Amino acid sequence: MFEYFTERAKRAIVAGQDEALALGHDFMGTEHLLLGLVAVPESTAGALLAAAGAEPAAARARAVGILEADGIFGTGAQDAKDALSALGIDVDEIKRRADGTFGEGAFQYPRPAYTPHAKKALELTVRAWRSCGHDPEDPGAGIGTEHMLLGLLAEPEGRSHRVLDALAVDEEALRAAARERAGADGDPTPQN
């Protein structure tokens, strides 16, 4: 599925994973996807979020506060790397070699698992993309950050809504702006 994502959308996903790791989380939730979108300000979603008042530092602080209120505290995300180091495995050297052989950023360690809500948001991202009339057979019409934002907004259970609420972001206005930028005709909201 990720082969259909634009480079900026892929960067937003990687930025979200990096946020999860930096916060010491071994999972990738909708809050991390949101932080990833905010972290790519030159993307469509990044610009829309910034215009709505979702700045990176404030979004991160609100996400951390919400996670901690839910009893989820970061572990530092260093344990696995330290354990491998104790065995004589140099993860940084592996990364340097992989980057040299396969290209910059080819080796990402470790990568957090997606929560069910994040998976649903990504599924809704694809649905939003298709609602714009895009077809997987059309290589020129990739899944962009605006589609990711629509998918996130359509997933009702994710913590990203609580982060946006804490930032006083008007989700309806944000959704309308994202739909306009995406050219969306349909609604990616799941049918129950």
Strand (E) or helix (H) holding 28: strand 27-28
Decide: 46 and 145 in contact? Cβ < 8 Å. yes
pLDDT (tens digit per residue) in 29-52: 999 999 999 999 999 999 999 999
Q: Could you read off the pLDDT of 76-95 as tens digits, one per residue? A: 555 556 656 776 778 778 77
CA angle 85/16/145 to nearest 5° reads 150
Q: What is the largest CA-CA distance in the chain?
A: 55
Where does residue 158 rank: exposed (0-12), middle (13-18), buried (19+ CB within 10 A)? buried
Domains of the chain, with CATH numbers? 2-77+106-121+132-176 (1.10.1780.10)
pTM (2 d.p.): 0.81
Contact between 154 and 131 (Cβ < 8 Å): no
Chain centre to alpha carbon of residue 81? 23
